[in-house]
Every structure is written in C-alpha cells, then in structure tokens.
Chain A
C-alpha cells in the first residue's frame, strides 16, 4: 500500500509540469537581446564605418605614404630649360578682375555744377603705373636670342680695344675648328658613364680654355644639369682630350674660351 502510495506520489511528481514559462521567457529575452545587439552593431557600424588599413598601429600594418614626387624615375618629357616654354604654369598673377562700375543712379537727377570727371582722370593715371609690373616679372632673363645679339654690339665697341679685329668672330672665321671641337668631344665623351636615370635632353654647360697648342685647360662647370654623373662625364670628356689641334695660325690670340654643353 505504502508502496502504491509512494508510487502514486512519484507519478504525481512526474506528472506535475515543470515551470517552463519563466525560463522560456528568459531565453527569449536573451536571444532577443543578442539579435538586437547584432542588428544594432550592424546599423551603428554602418553609420560609423572606418577602414583601418594603413593606419598607424592598426593590426601591425605598415604605414604607406605616397612618394610619387620623390621617385627617381626618368622623366618622359625632356627637360626644357627654355624659360619661354616651361611646363609649369606661369607665376604671373591672374588678370585683375575688372572693377565693378560705380553704380550710377540713372534715375537721379543730375545736380548742376557737380563734376565727376576729376575722379576718372585719377583712375586713368593710376592704371599705367600698375600694368608694367607683372610684365617685367615674366620677361625672359636670358636666352639664346639675347646672346646672339651681343657680339655685334661688341664688334662695334671693341674696335677701340687692343684686339679689335678678332674679338668675337672666331666662330664665323674658323667654323671648321669649332666643328673639330665638336668631333673631338663627341669621341671623348663617354655617354655610358652617365646615370641612365638622367632625363633625356638634360644639358650641362662647361667653360674651358683652349691654349695655343690645342690643349684644354681650366675646365669648369658653368651650369649644372642636375645630374652629377652627367656633369662629371662631360668634364672627364674634356680632360680626356690631349689636344683639339693647334689654334688656327690666322688667329692672333693665345687662348680661346669655349662654352660647351653635353646633352644626354
């Protein structure tokens, strides 16, 4: 009996439903919270999106800066030393915007006796003072054309000098000797010595003296090309020359000054 009673109790215990509502509600709440936080994270992450690549300290990634201006790559465009054909835009100030005309009330009745003219004259007098300023800034300071006009002026001036007859016309009288300098230099200048990254068309200008016996002396760089290897190779080219040949016997002076360029 007691056994039966105990069995009935057990059955009763087993048949009694466990409390399900509270745990289920808790579980639902937790899942809902999780889902909600995910959605929230997605929404908020979308609003505050950031790419962390490349940032300092972000995941140990390296910081990369653009170095395009520092890359020592050869320039495609030959260097142009001509100030009149430079690639960079002109530094000239933009043309001044025309001043707005003083509004004249046309409907106003002119006051007799009042003259507005003196003011206009002042303006006209001012403008020519301002205009030449930007023109001077943009003017070429040097160039081939300026050089060519110099010897003619010198020949007139030099007629009173001690070496009046010869000063300034070596190139026209002894063109063959100047050609000889070119030949000799093109043989002795080794282009292989020049750094291949030197831009095409870069020029170095040298000054040197040719003595009576044709030997070069006083080799100096007049204007660097910006490439030390080109500068040095051109200098070496002159130094490698034993003699350019005796100066022409009809030429009276003891030395000849040469301005020479090597173009890569």
Chain B
C-alpha cells in the first residue's frame, strides 16, 4: 500500500477563465488512486468522566469498551492500540493537543474523544471526531447524547456514536453497530428464534412456541420475522410480529407439503420461499400479506433456499438439485434467465450482498465419500463468477448472511458437535465467535 495516494497534494482547482460573476458555488477537488487506499489510522481516546456521580465510572467503562470494539470491528480503521495512545483524556476541543496524537507512537490520522457524565439518572455524552492533520479546522464531527443512565443505554449511545463516525469516514455507508442478528437457539430445550446485538451482546429469545422453528428472516423494516416452523400440518412458513409479540397470519405458507426457507424482498413487499405442495420442492413468491402466490420454478429435483438481489429486487439466487448435488443458480423474478453459478461440489445457503455484486454461500467443493473437502464459506463475484474462500479448515461452516454494510458476514460454524454463531469481515479476516451457550444455528443479519 503506497502512501502515495495519501500524500497527494489535494489541490483545489478553479478555472481561471471563469469571471468572478460566473463563479460556480462549488469546489474542485483533485484526487486519484493506484494501489488502493490504506485503512484510516484512528485513535479512540478514553472519554473524560465529568461529575462525581457513583454511576459514572461503570457507565464510562462500558461506553469506552463498546466504542473501541465497534470501531475495531468496523473493518475500515486501523485502530490505535490503547497502549500506544497518549494517557491524556481530553474532554473537549479546548483540551485536546492534536500533535500529541498525531506523533509517534500513536500516529493517529483521526482522533475521537469526548466527555461523559451521569447525573439525576441521565447519561450525557459529548463526542467529537477530529482530523489530526488539519490544524485549521480539525473538527469532522461533534455529537451530543442525552439518555437515561443505564448500562444498556451507555452501550446504545456508544453504538450510535460509532455508527456516526463509520458513516462519516466510511463513505456514507451506515455502520452496523445498532443492527441485530436473529438466529435459532436450542438452549432452552426447543429450537426457538433468538436475537442479539451484532457484537453478541444482549441475547434473548423472541419466540416461545415450544416446537421447532428454523431459518428466521427479519423484514427490512424490522417489524416481522418470517420463519419455518413444524406444526400439525408439517413444515409451514409462518410470520411473527415483533410489534404485537405474537405470530400473525401468513396463508400462503401453510399449504400442504413442506414449506421452508422464506426470504424477504428488499422493499418488504414480497416473500419467496420453497414449497413441496406439488410433490417436488419449488420456489414460490407471495405478497408479504400472504396472497398473490406464484410459482417460479418447475423442474425435477428440489429447488430451495431463495435469496433476493437486494439492489434490484428483480433477481433471485437459490439452490437447485436438478443436476444431482445442490448447486447455486440465479434467475430473474419471472423465472427466466437461469444461470448456474457453481461448477460442482455441494453448494447451499446463498445470501446476496447489499450492493448486489456478490453472493456468499456454503460450499463443499470436493464432496463425496473419501473426498477431503470441508464445508466452507465462499464469496463469489456474480459478473465474473470468480470466488474467494473465506473460512479454512475450521469446522463445518454454513448459513452465511450479509450485514447491511456489505463488509461483514455472520455464519454458523459447527465443530465438536456444537454449532455456534460467528461473524467475520467479508474477506475472511477478524473471525469472532458471538455465541457460547447451547447450540445456535442459522443466523440472519437485520437490514438496518
């Protein structure tokens, strides 16, 4: 990574030929790239505690740890280690000495700092983001939060502030610090739908149906969960309203046969799922209300696990066994233009990236008796069909799901008889285990 692009003189060019009266109210910026850009060197100072409230130290500790972890997990920062950062805790722009942070060993390009106080049950946080190289107008961001004083709220405020920083420095892509991950857990005895924060905190059950619930899919507006559930009539696609706290009707998903693997369209108006009501598992699309059912595929062999192209809402990727072992295919919304994406092996569980450019799926490229292949997570560029293996020789990996920022993937890894939820960056680095209790399956990252 050359520092060349960074050191580029960022000239501002205004054509001299314009007369003063015709001057456009806009600037010229000159920039360029050759070998890509390095991660931004960011320092997160410990926030300054203000006031003598006994709650403050505990809240500050939670806030600092959460903010640091959010920024470290963002995937776009080279975060200054706390041991290299200066000891000072500037609480306001007047107190910070930028040369101290931009000098070695911190070498920070950006510094975030602020003050936190708890008084009368309110948590007040002032946060800033400063450009350490810019001595004239260093402020990039200034935020103030005033919430009820609690551990949860301290974590939420840290998430919000981290998302602001990530959105500002990450080119307008919203951070994921406030997103949720829905998954299936059997830790209470029966398989129920659970939810947790993106970093594995705050895990709790959503459904208490006492049966088997699988493949949860949260709606784009975070109000409903579609999932497959085993009832008296076999497997049915059902709907759970988070606003009402109970299952709601979804008539299209309860016909005979096995109905499974629902998927929301990005506008929340349609649901695709697989159903074997005609004897063979095929892909169907229905309105989110459960009406207007249409059958998309009609081939011998199972067609399951649809996923929408969230960018266009006009394409589906799914798993088909029409040639024997399951493979990933894509097609248009009307069932035309079918393309096979994988060239062999055993490929399942596709998930389409938010920008529409990639598919991630689970693939055993050397499937069969005596074959040494493992079930691993792959990412494929749809246009070129070139792929990248993200997990290597670590258990059996399945059910990948993209984060809304397109930089993270959550997936299920089972090794030693226990399945757990893991997350990683979309290049396979920074793998973190999120769940540790019981067995946990089939994660699904919320849309926002």
Residue numbers of A with Cβ under 8 A of B are: 144, 147-148, 150-151, 153-154, 157-158, 160-163, 166-173, 175-176, 178-187, 189, 192, 203, 209, 214, 240-246, 248, 250-264
Contacts and interface: CB of A to CB of B under 8 A. Distances in A.
Given A158-B20, A180-B170, A192-B384, A173 B136 contact: yes
The majority secondary structure among interface residues of chain B is: loop
Given A162-B23, A167-B14, A182 B384 contact: no
B384 A183 contact: no
A183 B41 CA distance: 13
A250 B34 CA distance: 30
B21 A161 contact: yes
22 contacts: A147-B11, A151-B12, A151-B14, A158-B23, A161-B23, A166-B27, A167-B27, A169-B12, A172-B10, A172-B12, A175-B10, A176-B134, A179-B40, A182-B31, A245-B173, A251-B27, A253-B24, A254-B25, A254-B26, A256-B29, A257-B24, A258-B31
Given A162-B25, A244-B171, A263 B14 contact: no
B31 A178 contact: yes
B323 interface: no
Contact of A253 (B25, B168, B170): B25
B37 interface: yes
A164 B233 CA distance: 73
B171 A259 contact: no
Given A182-B6, A259-B29, 10 more contacts: A171-B27, A172-B10, A173-B137, A175-B131, A178-B31, A181-B31, A181-B171, A243-B171, A259-B13, A259-B31
B76 interface: yes
Contacts of B25: 162-163, 166-167, 252-254
B21 A262 contact: no
A260 B32 contact: yes
Contact of B33 (A157, A170, A263): A263
B133 A175 contact: yes
B338 interface: no
B140 interface: yes
Interface class of chain A by DSSP: mixed
A169 B28 CA distance: 9
Contacts of A242: 172, 355
A183 to B, nearest CB: 5
A177 to B, nearest CB: 8
Contacts of A185: 31, 33
Contacts of B110: 176
B331 interface: no
Interface in B25-73: 25-37, 40
Contacts of B140: 176, 248
Contact of B29 (A148, A171, A187, A245): A171
B140 to A, nearest CB: 5
B27 A179 contact: no
B29 A150 contact: no
A173 B168 CA distance: 15
B171 to A, nearest CB: 4
A251 B29 CA distance: 13
B172 A182 contact: no
Contact of B5 (A148, A151, A173, A182): A182
Contact of A261 (B12, B32, B171): B32
Contacts of A157: 20
B417 interface: no
B169 interface: yes
A243 B172 CA distance: 6
Contact of A158 (B11, B14, B40): B14
A252 B25 CA distance: 8
4 nearest CB pairs, A to B: A245-B172, A171-B10, A261-B32, A170-B27
Given A161-B20, A173-B136, A245 B167 contact: yes
Contacts of B355: 242
B371 interface: no
A261 B33 CA distance: 6
